[in-house]
Amino acid sequence: MIRIHVLEGAALVWSAEDAREIRERFRLVGTLVGALARKPRQNARLGLPLQLLPEEARLLAELGAAVLVRGTETQPPAEGEEPTQAAEVEAYQRELEESYQEQQRLAGAERGALLAQLAERIAQGRARRREQRGETPDTVEDSGLLDSPFVLPRSSMMVQLPTARQRPGRVEQVDWTSPSPDWPHAGRPAHEARYRVFRELWGRGYYLSGGSKFGGDFLVYPGDPLRFHAHYIALCCPPGAPLPLRALVAAARLGTGVKKTLLLCSPGTGGALAFTSLQWSGLQ
């Protein structure tokens, strides 16, 4: 069961396996919105979590493939919980210290082995230097290869940054059919209208993504967005909502400029949806 974490209306998927399944099995794309741990200061490539459109999250919930959950640990610790938090912090510090000692031991052993390998060369080099300086060659040198006990600098220590929670956090399920602070979309007419269009287009086999970059509601792709450009910019028109002509011209012109057809979508007669394509006429 895919877990979708909701937070103030945003739907997030934190598990890499779930994100993959959502794309491969359900043909839903979403957007990666997280910073990458190794390359944080850029946004050309982002990582988990995967943010889903409200329509995508609802589709998965409706199909029974996902549950919407909400974390319950966001409140500050209650009175009795503070000692447990302190204990956890202490345990973490202890683990860190143990890891450091282990790394120091291993690093020291490796250094020793390396020096042993090169012992002959080092001795030769030292002898040459002593001759140059004119010292007697009889001076007994310690095999002071380990001149001082080896100390691994703290800044060179390797630390693991977990990118998944080590223990599952406490979550509670959220009902996607009724509005709540973390999932306010249920019942809103705008959301319902968009969802109807989304479900219909998804049902016809298209891939869909957010259309705000092109002034529309959705972008409609004939295949995976990594392989195809979008064909349509879908604009959901609620029945009875007037479309000012200037806005229509602006939207259609943008569509022509980026080689996409503008698709007006709204509920039609008899419960079906009506789609109208808008293109530049080409009259010079």
Tell me which residues are annotated as active site.
221, 229, 260
Q: Give, in order, the Cα–Cα distances in Å from 75 to each of 71, 79, 96, 280.
A: 10, 12, 27, 54
Of the two residues 103 and 261, which places its CB atom closer to other proteins in the complex? 261
Range in contact with other proteins (rule: CB under 8 A) among 10-18, 128-136, 209-217, 259-267: 259-267
Indicate the residue among 64 and 239 with the shorter CB distance to other proteins: 239
Question: Are the CB atoms for 41 and 216 separated by under 8 Å?
Answer: no
Least Cβ distance, residue 277 to other proteins (angstroms): 4
The stretch near other proteins (CB under 8 A) out of 23-31, 66-74, 176-184, 231-239 is: 231-239
* Distance in angstroms (rounded) separating the CA atoms of residues 264 and 235: 5
Is the C-alpha dihedral spanning 178, 242, 196, 199 positive or negative? negative
Q: Is 15 in the site for other proteins (CB under 8 A)?
A: no
Using alpha carbons only, how large is the chain's radius of gyration in Å? 31
Coil vs helix vs strand at 102: helix
Nearest-approach distance from CB 85 to other proteins, in angstroms = 48
User: Does 66 contact other proteins by CB under 8 A?
Assistant: no
Residue 105 token pair: 């031991």
- How many CA within 13 A on the CB side of residue 246? 0
CA 197/CA 189 separation, integer angstroms: 13
* Contact status: 260 vs other proteins (CB under 8 A): yes
Does residue 69 touch other proteins according to CB under 8 A? Answer: no
Q: Figure out which of the listed residues 7, 10, 237, 254 binds other proteins, where binding follows CB under 8 A.
A: 237
The residues that touch other proteins, with contacts defined as CB under 8 A, are: 229, 231-232, 237, 239-246, 248-249, 252, 255, 259-261, 263-264, 266, 268, 274-284
